[in-house]
Amino acid sequence: MLATTEAPPTQWNKGYTESHGTGNCVIQTNDGGYALAGESDGKFLLVKASSTGDVQWWKTYQDGEAYSIVQTSDGGYALAGSGTLFNFVKTDSAGNMQWNKDYSKLGLPFLAKSLIQTSDGGYALAGWTSEWDWTIKTDSNGNMQWNKTYGTERTQSFVTAVVEADDGGYALTGKDMLIKIDSSGNVQWNRTYEFVSSLVKTKDSGYLLVGSAWLIKTDSQGNMQWTNKYGINWTMNFNVFSSAVQTRDGGYVVAGATYPIYDGLAWIVKTSASGNMEWNATYEPVKGSNSIANWIIETNDGGYAFTGSKGVGRGYTEPGDVWLVKIATTIPEPFPTWIVATTVIVVIAVVGVALLVYFRKVKKTTERAEIISEGVM
């Protein structure tokens, strides 16, 4: 599938060299900056960056790796992942840990791949242990309200994503399935698909499933509506998608990597609402190394931001640096408000002068007509 337009330019590109690691998830924060979660030197990582990508603070928490992050209703952050001491961390707005939770009693190790804050102020986590796929629902303090398992070691699908559905239940996806559960975690229906790495709840209450360089769009019941596969040269390239988001124009932007021969390149694809490619772009690391985009978002200005890792050693034998890239907006900038206000004032003044001249002419014409009329009489 060929692109139809040119990719927008890179606005800024930040490689954080504080220590080796990777960014697994990024969000735009309430102040217009960014927060990303990942791993740094084997520890949970939380980085707060400004609107221009400059690091404001950098925090690590015990051994492990964070795969998902949300900014909570109190302005703090919640991170979920895998760890030796805990799986779930809650911080204040400055990144100071307030509490953590260890769900290892469910099975060792428990790897939480996806986290959302639910409409009741609690949280839902999805992931797996060595034997089971799990969904955990907690209150606002991380205390478990219920947990559910799906499958066994032989049928385990490695749950990778959870989203909240319109009815208060949840949709989950993993290696080979899409499952809909109710608000108590009971299965309502399931659909079988190929390996799925990410899940998006779409504006029409359906779902977008993200796989190995393909997308599947379903309705609200998980029935396929369309599917598209992406890649430039499938005989030479290995391509993979890891994250997607629906954009304000109804289309989608997807992040991942493409491997032309040896070195991997971060790869971003923008599609229409029906899955047709509009543009795609690769982002190169230093020569002889790999880069990968793990997570992408649409930013408040209509652009995009993705996080991942760059400078990863060939064969992934050496770690790279945490990476954050801002792609410029494709939406035209509005006229400055002072120009709009000045234009309105000028138009009003011109119209006012024109009306004044018009009424003066009408008055003079009326007066002449009256004089002529009196002379005739």
Spell out the residues 6+ positions from residue 186 whose beta carbon is closer than 8 angstroms to its own.
148
Query: Quick one: pLDDT at residue 310?
Result: 86
User: For residue 125, which phi and psi values (nearest 5 degrees)?
Assistant: -120, 140
Cis peptide before 334 (omega within 30 of 0): no
CB 34 within 8 A of CB 305: yes
For residue 99, the 8-state DSSP code is E
- Give the C-alpha distances (Å, rounded to integers) separating 37 from 23, 57, 66: 6, 12, 6
pLDDT for the residue 222: 97
Look up residue 270 and give its DSSP letter. E
Q: How many CB atoms lie within 10 A of CB 160?
A: 24
Q: What is the mean pLDDT of residues 27-35?
A: 98
Q: What is the pLDDT of residue 128?
A: 86
Which H or E run includes 48? strand 43-49
Tens digits of residue pLDDT in 61-88? 989 999 999 999 999 999 999 988 889 9
Total residue count of the chain as it appears in this document: 377
The dihedral sign for the CA sequence 48, 78, 63, 156:
negative
Top-ranked range on mean pLDDT: pick from 3-12, 173-182, 295-304:
295-304
Per-residue confidence (pLDDT) for residue 69, from 0 to 100: 98
More confident: 238 or 107:
238
Q: Which residues have a Cβ under 8 Å from the Cβ of 166 and sit 6 or more positions away? A: 205, 220
Dihedral in degrees, nearest 10, Cα atoms 160, 163, 168, 169: -30
pLDDT for res 154: 47
Predicted local distance difference test score (pLDDT) of residue 286:
58
Q: Report pLDDT for 39.
A: 95
Output the DSSP codes for 90-140: EE-TTS-EEEEE--GGGSSS-EEEEEEE-TTS-EEEEEE-SS-EEEEEE-T
Residue 25 has pLDDT above 70, yes or no: yes
29-33, 96-100, 154-158: least confident range: 154-158
Lowest-pLDDT range, 83-87, 114-118, 265-269, 338-342?
Answer: 338-342
For the chain, give every domain's residue range: 10-327, 335-377
How does the average pLDDT of the chain come out, rounded? 85
Q: Which residue has the higher pLDDT, 205 or 155?
A: 205
Q: Regarding beta strands 111-117 and 214-218, do their DSSP bridges make them parallel or antiparallel, or are they unpaired?
A: unpaired
Over the range 18-53, which residues count as b (16 or more CB within 10 Å of their CB) and which as e?
A: ebbbbbbbbbbbeeebbbbbbbbebbbbbbbbebeb
Band the pLDDT of 231: cuts 50, 70, 90: confident
Q: Residue 182: what are its φ and ψ, rounded to 5°?
A: -85, -175
Averaged over 176-180, what is the pLDDT? 91
Structure confidence by residue, pLDDT tens digits, 191-213: 999 888 899 999 999 999 998 88
Residue 143, both tokens: 């205390």
pLDDT confidence of residue 377? 46
Tell which CATH architecture fits domain 10-327: 6 Propeller (2.120)
Q: In what order do the strands lie in the sheet with 207-210?
A: 198-201, 207-210, 214-218, 224-229
Q: What is the DSSP secondary-structure string of 231-251?
A: -S-TTT-EEEEEEEEE-TTS-
pLDDT digit string, tens, across residues 275-309 = 999 999 998 765 556 788 999 999 999 999 999 98
Cβ–Cβ under 8 Å, residues 50 and 350:
no
Per residue in 306-327, pLDDT (tens digit) is 999 887 665 555 668 899 999 9
For residues 369 and 290, give the distance between their C-alpha atoms in angstroms, rounded to a whole number: 89
In the structure encoding, which two tokens stand for residue 148, read together? 């559910």
